[in-house]
Structure 1
Amino acid sequence: MKNILVTIDFNSDEQLLVEKAFQLAKQFDSKIWLVHIAAPDPDFIGYEVGPQYIRDSRASELREEHKLLQKLSNELKEKGVTAEGLLVQGATIEMIMEESKKLNVDLIIAGHHEHGFLYNAFVGSISGQIVKKSKIPVLIIPLD
């Protein structure tokens, strides 16, 4: 197992996922890819980009998310594990599958939050969709 992809969503529980990835990476001398999928730009999904302050706000959010990814990857490097952070824009499941193929990933680590019936009926479970679509082994970590 040479490459581990960890899905990061910045819901304040990414440390648990990173720690599990660290434990596996140490055992198998693996590289960790910390991947955050950001929402696509409004023009990507068919809407006008809007006023400049909206674009500036969005750019600021993306810069902050990128800094957080770099901080997490630097912490892993300090512990002796090779790690890189990637910020990708697009549809979550599709981008995770695409990046997994590009990076030649051997394992995907994702967190799972328990949601109510209505949420699952309308939105669905990201971790469940990853398991359904992935041809790569997936490790789901309960976060609740």
Structure 2
Amino acid sequence: MNILVALDLSPSSQEIVKQVEELFNLPHVKFWLLHVADPEPEFIGYADGPQYIRDAVAQEFHAEHKAIQAIATEMRNAQIDCTALLIQGYCPDTILSEAQRLKAHLIVMGSHGKNMMKQLILGSTSQAVIQDSKIPVLVIPTKTN
């Protein structure tokens, strides 16, 4: 069984990983940890932009890579079959395309519980994935009160 776990690397990511381990730590389960990074600067119009912006994007990408690898290492140290992926792109589309490519049986992701105004302005990644997914999606609420 392949389970794709989409992580935004916020503090709530650890809670999502903990719950996934408790629910699905079974023989023959392969976890794919996915973090979707922002697109390349060239993609968003910074091809000839200032070098400091390009440097900041590169530093952020490196930090995200280290973070997702650290989570995967912790899981592997606990004898859990896990691979970390860091892919650039539009978050909902990337999650869905990776789930298809990996032949995932389940997508697990968190929901920050945005209020209506924030959801209207910013959108909801989990809502977009649920709407277009052809496989089950488990959404773990991560909003803290």
* TM-score, length-scaled by structure 2: 0.92
- Indicate the residue corresponding to 1:138 in structure 2: 137
* d(CA) in 2 for partners of 1:8, 1:71: 13
Q: Does 1:107 align with 2:124?
A: no
* d(CA) in 2 for partners of 1:136, 1:92: 17
Give a deviation string over 1:4-52, Cα, whole Å, max 9, x none: 1111101211011111222233225311111000111221134435122
- Indicate the residue corresponding to 1:72 in structure 2: 71
Q: How does 1:15-94 map to 2 (within 5 A)?
A: 15-94=14-93
Distance change in 2, residues 1:46/1:54 (3 Å): closer
* d(CA) in 2 for partners of 1:28, 1:106: 15
| Counterpart residue type for residue 64 of structure 2 | E
Q: Does 1:6 align with 2:34?
A: no
- Indicate the residue corresponding to 1:96 in structure 2: 95
Write 1 or 2 for the structure with the bigger share of helix.
1
The answer to whether the Cα contact below 8 Å between 1:24 and 1:30 also exists between their aligned partners in 2 is: no
* TM-score, length-scaled by structure 1: 0.92
Structure 1 residue ranges without an equivalent (≥5): none
Root-mean-square deviation (Å): 1.4
Structure 2 residue ranges without an equivalent (≥5): none
* d(CA) in 2 for partners of 1:134, 1:62: 27
Which sits farther off after the overlay, 24-33 or 122-131? Answer: 24-33
How many pairs are equivalent?
143
* d(CA) in 2 for partners of 1:140, 1:49: 39
| Counterpart residue type for residue 5 of structure 2 | V
The answer to whether the Cα contact below 8 Å between 1:4 and 1:21 also exists between their aligned partners in 2 is: no
Which sits farther off after the overlay, 114-123 or 12-21? Answer: 114-123
- CA deviation after TM superposition for structure 1 residue 56, in Å: 1.5
Q: Runs ≥4 in structure 1, deviation > 2 angstroms?
A: 45-49
| Counterpart residue type for residue 105 of structure 1 | A
* d(CA) in 2 for partners of 1:45, 1:113: 26
